[in-house]
Structure 1
Amino acid sequence: MKKYLVIFLIGIAFHLPANAQKYSTLKQFYFMLGNWEMKTAKGKITESWTQNKESLSGKSYRHALNGDSSLMETLLIKKIDSDFYYCSNVSGQNNGETVSFKLISNENNILVFENATHDFPQRIVYQNMSKNELLAWIEGERNGKKSKSEFRYHRKM
């Protein structure tokens, strides 16, 4: 019985560092790097991500059919202490303040960031669909009802 317990504990010891490392580097976010585009009935939405030394920064724009564009959101993914956060500054919202969402899950190519105290959304999710397709969505409760908005991006070449 002792032999099995020792083997079990050794197995756990080897598994934990690998799992901890999975969440400790920026590499888990690299699939987001680049320029992304989603066509809409009113034009398109673009999102672009670049890597800095210790973070990823992004910007999201709305482009009207007539060519006008406006900045919707300035983004940053950074590590604070031992956790990663998705930091969003949305034009005209939250009194100009940045809202942070903590990375709570990274499984099956899906990143889930959460801020349960934010009015809406409470969760921001990115799913790596393929090298050239990225699915993002925001979800949570709004006025007591569940709500979700999807953004199906394709890589701009």
Structure 2
Amino acid sequence: MKKYLILLVFGVAFHLSANAQKNSSLQQFSFILGNWEMKTTKGKITESWVQNKVELSGKSYRHTLNGDSVLMETLLIKKINGNFYYCSNVNGQNNGETVNFKLISTENNTFVFENATHDFPQRIVYQNLGKDELLAWIEGERNGKKGKSEFRYQRKK
């Protein structure tokens, strides 16, 4: 009986430790949670992120100056086969399929996701600039030319 109790205690401790590690790994992306806004000459772009136990999900909208809005992209950050991926489904692109970008770097509060086989972009990057500021960009090559677009977001209050 004592032997089974010890095994049960170790089993529960292992399960709790594994769940804590999984959540703490996802915690590295917690800076992105909430509502973000970037003003443009044509209106604004917003991104909103929430978290559940296994992934972060986001949506990006383009808002015109007259108040109309269009869903541009549905997003996920989740683990697939032990690696984190940024999963993007852009309206009207990629035949409605989700494109996955693998996390390749997390240095200096900068999270780089890459899919070298995608037409454009090949990289999606999020940089944590503090509590109320977020810099994101997409980059890569298209038709042999390098390109980059930046999105400097402010936290919506």
TM-score, shorter chain, exceeding 0.5: yes
Partner of 1:107: 107
Does the residue aligned with 1:66 lie in a helix, a strand or coil? coil
- Runs of 4+ more than 6 Å apart: none
For normalisation by structure 1, the TM-score amounts to 0.85
1:152 aligns with 2:138: no
1:1-157 matches, cutoff 5 A: 25-157=25-157
Distance 1:132 1:64 in 2: 23
For normalisation by structure 2, the TM-score amounts to 0.85
The CA deviation at 1:146 is 0.4
Aligned residues: 136
The CA deviation at 1:134 is 0.1
Does the residue aligned with 2:100 lie in a helix, a strand or coil? strand
Partner of 1:11: none
Does the residue aligned with 1:108 lie in a helix, a strand or coil? helix
The CA deviation at 1:53 is 1.3
**Percent identity (aligned):** 82
- The runs of 5 or more residues in structure 1 that have no matched partner are 1-20
Distance 1:153 1:143 in 2: 29
The CA deviation at 1:143 is 1.0
